[in-house]
Amino acid sequence: MRVKQILWDFIKKFKWRYIIGIVFLIITSFITSMIPRLLGFITDSLNNKMPLSDIVRYLIILVGAAVGAFIFRFTWRYFLVGNCRYLECYLREKLFAHMQTLPATFYDNNKTGDLVAYAINDIQAIRRTFGFGFTAILDGVVVNTVSIAIMVRTINPVLTAMALLPTPFIVFILYKLRRKIRERFTAVQKAFAQISEKVQENISGIRVIKAFAQEEEEVEDFLKYSQTRVDTHMRLVRVSAAFWPLTQFMFGISIVFFIIYGSQLVTRGTISLGDYIAFNSYVMIIMRPIVSISRVIEIWQRGMASAGRLDKIFQEKGEKGSKSIYVVPDIMMRKTEDRKHSLEASYTYESLKGDIEIRNLDFTYPGSDEKALKGINLKIKEGETLGILGTTGSGKTTIANLLLRLYDVEDGRILIGQKDINHIPLKALRESIGYVPQDNFLFSTTIRNNIEFFRPIYQDEQVNLASKMAGVYDDILSFPDGFETVVGERGVTLSGGQKQRVSIARAIIKEPSILILDDSLSAVDTKTEEKILNNLKKVLEGRTGIIIAHRVSSVRYADQIIFMDNGRIIERGKHDELMEMKGAYYRLYQSQIKKERDYYASGRLKVNPGLRT
Amino acid sequence: MEFSRGIDSNITYRKRRSLIIKLLAYFKPYMPLLMLSILFAVLINVSVIVKPYIIKYIIDDYLAVGINAPDVFLYVGLIYFGVVLIGAGLSYSQTYILTYIGQKIMYDIRNQLFTHIQNMSIKFFDRTSSGRILTRVTNDVEALNDIFSGVLVNSIKDIIMIIGIVITMFSINKNLALISICSIPVIAIITIIYRKAARKNFIKMKALIGRINGFLAENISGMRLVRIFHREKEKFEEFEELDKEYFDTSLRELILHSLCRPIIEVINTLTIALLIWYSAGTVVEGYLEIGVLYAFINYVKEFFAPINEIADVYTSLQSAVVSAERIFDVLDNQEMLEDAEKGMPIDRIEGEIEFKNVWFYYNEDEWVLKDVSFKIRPGQTVAFVGHTGSGKSTIINLMARFYDIQKGQILIDGVDIKEYNLRDLRRQIAVVMQDVFLFSGDINSNIRLRNKSITDDDIKRAAKLVCADKFIESLPSQYSQEVKERGCTFSAGQRQLISFARAVAFKPAVIVLDEATANIDTETEIAIQRAMANIAEGSTTIIIAHRLSTIRNADNIIVIDNGRIKEMGTHEQLMEKGGVYRQLYERQLNYQWIA
């Protein structure tokens, strides 16, 4: 779906609001452009010493017109601009719902910051195009057509031509000026960002700076950035300060013509004094739309560029089997109860059972030339635990990614309970797997929310038990607000190990039939690791487990251990079997045991007795 | 949220006044320019007021009475043109001057602030988060922009403008002037109410955009997880709610905006109608001239802009005061300031270091060092051994006087370190920290820092001495290789070697090495070992040891436990003694043997 299509659908959906808005806008513009004429009449009536009652009648019409314009203007703004405000939110929700369906590859290839910018800045640019860009054109066209028509027909064509003489120059110059301003403004922002970076780096490295007594040199360096900030700003002001004076000057020329030539027209009797005053007001009235032409052009250009960028995302294909959430196109019609109901329905799914089988699997990441997995054959019996060891980049995580169907594989390569993974509904597959990722990503909300993971259907006991199993219960209780403690920037900072353990609790609470731990014990010390592994034994009873690790200690009790290197399985078996082989596994074991001891010898006096074998 | 604090902040009236006075003091060097810009402002006002007056003159003296005088029209037209030209020129210059003053003052404050922060002691950085310091130097300074470039001068301009219009009105026609000024309080009240509401709404909207931004950033980073856990719906609903909240404030902004200005236009029209109605009676009797009415109609319309701007002064003053308070909090903090001027200058120290009954704490009554005494002779290599938190790193911090001690004395070359010039002292002691910090730039600039006296040859020599030359020269751009994102493209070991080279290049009398051993591949580890041996040759060397094997040859080994010195001596002496050190050493050896 393209942005244009979405916009068109949106407009069609709200066509009545648009029609009413446009009609009111035209009426408003019409009234606005009649007011100077009215003032002209009043002037003439005064000049011709008409009776007071006639003047009062005109005055009532004048005030009525002003009040009417006010009401009509408010109405069209509410409908047209209000719709744009809503369009902004609608587009953003639509985009987010779409992003939720996009495959992992999309996120591998796009920076988070860019995506956020699309959802905020680009969508706001589109809103502006449809808000100001659209209404300013409509308003400007109507006001200026009516005004100029009145000026030409009822006042004087030659005078009108004189007044309009400078307009092409104004439009051209202001347009150029705007582009210059934009360029220079970007430079100002850049200079500011550089100051920010400079200070940030300086503070982070302050110990080095102080240790090497580089303070004065740092100040000197800072002055350069500070000066650039001043210089770029002054460069900006040199052009931006010209905008209004220049506009006023250009229209001043119109007024000068008007004084010189128009005055003669009055004294010669060609136009009345009222016309003269009305004309003067018209020059002011047509000025505003003409000045805004350059702004409208700029807004349209930026809106189009933004629409192009958004198009790219909207045209990305969603993951197989995933469907974008339907975004209610009317904010007034939303009912939370309906949503709640549909949410509850989504909690039910059929749990996956059975052995996991991988048959002769080769896999290459999209956009890469190198195979990440080569000829993998693997069978994990239901209820058993598989340990995966290997160096970074050997393909351990890839196996987990494929089991979660974050990337697509050919049919017939991965089977769960004898069903091809490609034919298992995505929902059933992912709901059945408890996954603990490598990067301990927690959302900045309460710990409880992180464990329940935004589905508040668990009892307190369940949350407590899961965190006990993950060995993080005591840690959580030591925080000021326990489970209600907010994590992240605005709250408590958790250590790497604590985050890992919360992630484990998050996976356990789902009671999944398959549990995957992707190097999830790296940041906890050996003692805690042992405790968690003991708990996991209990958790894994009756479940299939996959433990990916760097440390031998994490996997030594697994029913089956595979050792991976460069995308292949090079050794497989139980701990004792692998030790006897005296291969890669054995060597890793030896080096890790040694490191462990060095660490304890120098760093701590207490040694974990379990390791003294 | 820091932003919203601006409004509800309960800064007392007196404090606010003193802050504003402090801020105004920054105008001092720019007084002549400021005066010039105020003069320009007055002239701009005159040009604005004169324009309708010129047309009034034409209308009343010629058009209304039907005198055709083309040469007068041309003459007046040219005068009008001159007024427009001068007005435009003055506006441009005035904006330029004001911006210049504002930028210059911000430049001054920013530099003053940065210099002040540079001279703060480490204690300040321990206690203040880096984000907060960053905000002071960047956003808080920018927030003052409003005050310095514009608001104050422009509000003077606006007040003069209103007074000017009122005076002109009275001089033309007293009764009409009285009718006209009735609209001023009404416009003022509406504007102030609108401003307040709009401001509140604006802050809310800004905060919401911030939340949407944060939500999206977090959810895009965590998208994988949400997908894996199949929580798209829950997350979408959360987003929808946030977006809805934003929509509501957005709509409120629209409504407020669509009400204020149009209402004022209605009031203007009403005033104009009133003026016409009143004068209709007088005109009929032949007293009032049409041109006067024309001028009044124009003047009434000129009221809104200055009132609107003046209403803005209060809010921008308020937010500037909040930022100013934070800035002056830092600038007024003198006690944590290090004095770089004070003390005895030194060129070179010998490297004799003595601690005499030193007691020290970071937080009151939590003694970190208790009665520590030792002496290091020039050229010696001394190792400190002990657990994490035993006080090893603290000793080093004290030597370079990052902190001042509470009791006892630290002597270098027999002189109390408080006597020395701080910077000179630190230049003599190079500390290689465990967590290496690399600056953006290249390898050269990371070794040299900003010390121009270190030549490229010095850098190469230093790199060679610490065995970093091999890896640096294998890089595509060698010493000019760019260091990106704090050096994350280098391994921990390589970063360590660069920081060794940095220490050596500064040719200090004392080198302190905080030995880091985690996450280093064997090759670099060997390089580091050799580097340490090389460094130890020329100067007094202090090593904080994590691996005992590396310090066997040290001239003196000091074992620290819980802030006290437990044992002291050479490796052999301590082994013979059979104390803590021997236990530690044997345990380590034992494991090596098993392995």
For the cut 90, the answer to whether the pLDDT of residue B86 exceeds it is yes
* Residue at token pair 């939303």: A334
Give me chain B's average pLDDT, please: 81
Residue B582 pLDDT class (50, 70, 90 cuts): confident
CA-CA distance, A114 to A116, in Å (whole number)?
5
For the cut 80, the answer to whether the pLDDT of residue A525 exceeds it is no
Residue B78 pLDDT class (50, 70, 90 cuts): very high
Residue A611 pLDDT class (50, 70, 90 cuts): very low
**Nearest CB to A263; choose among B62, B214, B400:** B62
Which residues, in sequence order, are bridge partners of residue B369? B360
List Cβ neighbours of A64 (8 Å cut-off, separation of 6 or more).
none
Asked: is B353-594 a CATH 3.40.50.300 domain? The reply is yes
Higher pLDDT among residues B545 and A603, named by residue: B545
Asked: is B13-172+323-338 a CATH 1.10.3720.10 domain? The reply is no
pLDDT given at position A344:
56
Helix and strand numbers, DSSP H then E, in chain A: 26, 10
Residue pair A17/A133 in contact (Cβ under 8 Å)? The answer is: no
Q: Are residues B231 and A437, on separate chains, in Cβ contact within 8 Å?
A: no
**pLDDT tens digits, one per residue of B13-54:** 778 788 888 888 888 899 999 899 889 989 999 998 998 889
Chain B contact set for A520 (CB, 8 A): none
pLDDT given at position B5:
40
For the cut 50, the answer to whether the pLDDT of residue B539 exceeds it is yes
pLDDT given at position B595:
35
CA-CA distance, A502 to A504, in Å (whole number)?
5
Residue A613 pLDDT class (50, 70, 90 cuts): very low
Where would I find the beta strands (DSSP E) of A228-370? Answer: 356-364
Cβ neighbourhood burial of B350 (10 Å; 0-12, 13-18, 19+): middle
Give me chain A's average pLDDT, please: 83
pLDDT given at position B6:
40
For the cut 60, the answer to whether the pLDDT of residue B284 exceeds it is no
pLDDT given at position B402:
83
Residue B352 pLDDT class (50, 70, 90 cuts): confident
Closest chain B residue by Cα to residue A197:
B134
For the cut 50, the answer to whether the pLDDT of residue A606 exceeds it is no
pLDDT given at position B454:
79
Closest chain A residue by Cα to residue B282:
A46
Q: Are residues B254 and A196, on separate chains, in Cβ contact within 8 Å?
A: no
Other Cβ atoms closer than 10 A to A583: 13
**Nearest CB to A211; choose among B63, B212, B400:** B400
**pLDDT tens digits, one per residue of B59-69:** 888 887 778 88
Closest chain A residue by Cα to residue B243:
A89
Closest CA of chain A from B426, distance in Å: 6
Q: Are residues A404 and B228, on separate chains, in Cβ contact within 8 Å?
A: yes
Residue B170 pLDDT class (50, 70, 90 cuts): very high
Q: Are residues B107 and A42, on separate chains, in Cβ contact within 8 Å?
A: no
Chain A contact set for B240 (CB, 8 A): 93, 334
pLDDT given at position B403:
85
Residue A523 pLDDT class (50, 70, 90 cuts): low
Mean pLDDT, residues A127-135: 86
CA-CA distance, A161 to B317, in Å (whole number)?
47
Closest CA of chain A from B270, distance in Å: 6
Q: Are residues B247 and A601, on separate chains, in Cβ contact within 8 Å?
A: no
Per-residue CA distances from B527 to B142, B513, B532, B549 (Å):
48, 15, 9, 15
**pLDDT tens digits, one per residue of A57-90:** 889 999 999 999 999 999 998 988 888 888 888 8
**pLDDT tens digits, one per residue of A537-547:** 888 888 889 99
φ, ψ of residue A541 in degrees (nearest 5): -60, 120
**Nearest CB to A56; choose among B243, B270, B277:** B277
Closest CA of chain B from A369, distance in Å: 23
Mean pLDDT, residues A15-22: 90
**Nearest CB to B103; choose among A234, A261, A603:** A234
* Alpha helix ranges (H) inside A100-166: 104-109, 112-117, 123-128, 134-150, 157-164
Q: Are residues B258 and A226, on separate chains, in Cβ contact within 8 Å?
A: no
Cβ neighbourhood burial of A54 (10 Å; 0-12, 13-18, 19+): middle
Mean pLDDT, residues B140-169: 85
For the cut 80, the answer to whether the pLDDT of residue A500 exceeds it is yes
φ, ψ of residue A391 in degrees (nearest 5): -75, 170
Q: Are residues B506 and A113, on separate chains, in Cβ contact within 8 Å?
A: no
For residue B288, the number of C-alpha atoms closer than 13 Å in the C-beta half-sphere is: 27
Chain A contact set for B423 (CB, 8 A): 213, 215-216
- ipTM above 0.85 for this complex: no
Work out the percent of chain B whose per-residue pLDDT is above 90: 8
**Nearest CB to B266; choose among A70, A195, A404:** A70
**pLDDT tens digits, one per residue of A148-176:** 888 888 888 888 888 888 888 888 888 88
CA-CA distance, B75 to A55, in Å (whole number)?
34
Chain A contact set for B430 (CB, 8 A): 211-212
Higher pLDDT among residues A264 and B516, named by residue: A264
**Nearest CB to A454; choose among B85, B224, B234:** B234
The kind and range of the H/E element at B512 are: strand B510-514
**pLDDT tens digits, one per residue of B312-344:** 777 777 778 888 888 888 888 887 777 777 777
For the cut 70, the answer to whether the pLDDT of residue B388 exceeds it is no
Closest chain A residue by Cα to residue B234:
A454
Q: Are residues A226 and B110, on separate chains, in Cβ contact within 8 Å?
A: yes
**Nearest CB to B294; choose among A245, A277, A453:** A277
**pLDDT tens digits, one per residue of A355-400:** 888 888 889 888 777 888 888 888 888 888 899 988 777 888 888 8
Mean pLDDT, residues A459-485: 86
**Residue B420: which region, alpha, beta or left (left: phi > 0; alpha: psi -120 to 50)?**
beta
Q: Are residues A120 and B440, on separate chains, in Cβ contact within 8 Å?
A: no
Work out the percent of chain A whose per-residue pLDDT is above 70: 91
Chain B contact set for A241 (CB, 8 A): 91-92, 95-96, 99
Closest CA of chain A from B112, distance in Å: 10
